[in-house]
Structure 1
Amino acid sequence: MNVTLIIGIIFAALAGLLHFLIAYMEMFAWEGPLARKTFGGSAEEARPFTFYAYNQGLYNGFLAVEAIAGVIIALVGMKTIGVTLMIAATASMLCAAIGLVAKDSSFKSAAMKQGTLPLLGLLFIIIGLTL
């Protein structure tokens, strides 16, 4: 594997880890201090949305698993399968970030946090594949 592809794999892994954290907050710590600091509002304001946050957390968790599985699979030698999983995961993460800011531009900061690592992963992986 070339250096550019390895950099892409590192960014895909970081994107997966970030989405694991987001999934944890949405699924298990929705009313907790980290989730409230991250997403805003008080625990009381968040409480009515617990079910929806949990469901959203499942999506983020699955994307995280897909990205991390792709990293592991690529690193153990099944590059095509691993890279395919990483591309699917990071592209989905990036599209979610774009969709967030497209729906409401006041979420620009959140979209940047959510989408930067997947974007870098996707770019470096694609460039690394062409070298």
Structure 2
Amino acid sequence: MIIGLIFAALAGALHVLIAYMEMFAWEGPLARKTFGGTPEEARPFSFYAYNQGLYNGFLAVEAFVGIVIAIFGSTLVGAALVIAAVASMLCAALGLVLKDSSYASAAIKQGTLPVIGLIFVILGLVL
């Protein structure tokens, strides 16, 4: 299960970065390189990006809290939180590509760490 928790932590870290870009650096160069468009094009959507950043931040916190609980408290409760977090991250990535296949590359980047974490946490519980 440790491998799964490591990948869940990496997925959480990625979502912290995404949350930062969406909430605080939406018009900045990293966000524009990541999400496309110009600062002027991004500006009208900054409110929605901020709100989306909150969701990404909450998913990261859920993953991190689950990891801490799994390591220092109850393995099953922690694993349940981690599974909920990484499964939500994975579903968001799948939703992105299912809505518009031109976002396949972004979905792969967003979903790879969570799916690996999910598989290894579940395997750790089962084996």
Following superposition, the deviation at residue 38 of structure 1 comes to 0.6
Could you say which residue in structure 1 is the equivalent of 2:81?
85
The number of residue pairs the alignment matches comes to 127
Which SS does the other structure have where 1:20 is aligned? helix
Q: Root-mean-square deviation (CA), in Å?
A: 0.6
Provide the rounded CA distance (Å) in 2 between the counterparts of 1:28 and 1:84: 30
Q: TM-score, normalised by structure 1?
A: 0.95
Q: TM-score, normalised by structure 2?
A: 0.98
Could you say which residue in structure 2 is the equivalent of 1:32?
28
Which SS does the other structure have where 2:17 is aligned? helix
Listed as ranges, the matches of 1:1-131 within 5 Å are 5-131=1-127
Provide the rounded CA distance (Å) in 2 between the counterparts of 1:72 and 1:107: 33
Provide the rounded CA distance (Å) in 2 between the counterparts of 1:42 and 1:72: 39
Report runs of 4+ in structure 1 exceeding 2 Å deviation. none
Identity in percent: 75
Cα deviation code 1:67-116 (max 9, x no counterpart): 01111111113211110100000000000000000000000000001000
